[in-house]
Structure 1
Amino acid sequence: MNMKEIKEAKEELVRLSSDENERMAYNKRKMAILDRVSDLENAEEKGMEKGIEKGIEKGIEKVALEMIKDGVNIEVIMKFTKLSKENIEELRKIIKY
């Protein structure tokens, strides 16, 4: 930043800080921006969590499919994957096609 830019910024700061309405409008805009950033960060975090959950589910299904292909008993598959009997039966149908 050169001296001219610094002087202009200082003058703008003085102007804004001397007018109560300007200060309130500035603070309101600032809060709206911060709220929006927070909302976006929360949405990103939720998206990441859902993606991780989906990946884990797909991994469990893949393991169950391999166990089915190897002829592992359905109760054993249920024990290690925590999938329901119905889910495992659906996976068996996939293999048959």
Structure 2
Amino acid sequence: LADVMTFKGEVLGITRFGLAKMKESVLMLASFEKTVDHLFDAAIHGRSDHIVGVSECIILGAPVQIGTGAFKLLYKNPEGNTLSRRRQPLMSLDTRERNL
């Protein structure tokens, strides 16, 4: 927690003002306080979110890309000896791709 509060070079509180200085994520800001204000402001200014943080993934019901969710699962297909990947979700959570 102390690392998160000080990584910008100053001590920032875990309040709506401190979080606004720490992150650019629209959904992360909306998850804390003043949800409607943050969402309207993002819509007016055309901001996008990369969906990489825990708060963003929880809001969208997506797996969090940390811990056991940090890798993709490969498994043997019972019908053959080829490896198959899990089906891709409707909305990509890849950090290179922007979700609007």
TM-score, scaled to structure 2: 0.20
Normalized per residue, the structure richer in strand is 2
> Higher relative CO (CA 8 A, sep ≥ 6), structure 1 or 2?
2
Normalized per residue, the structure richer in helix is 1
TM-score, scaled to structure 1: 0.20
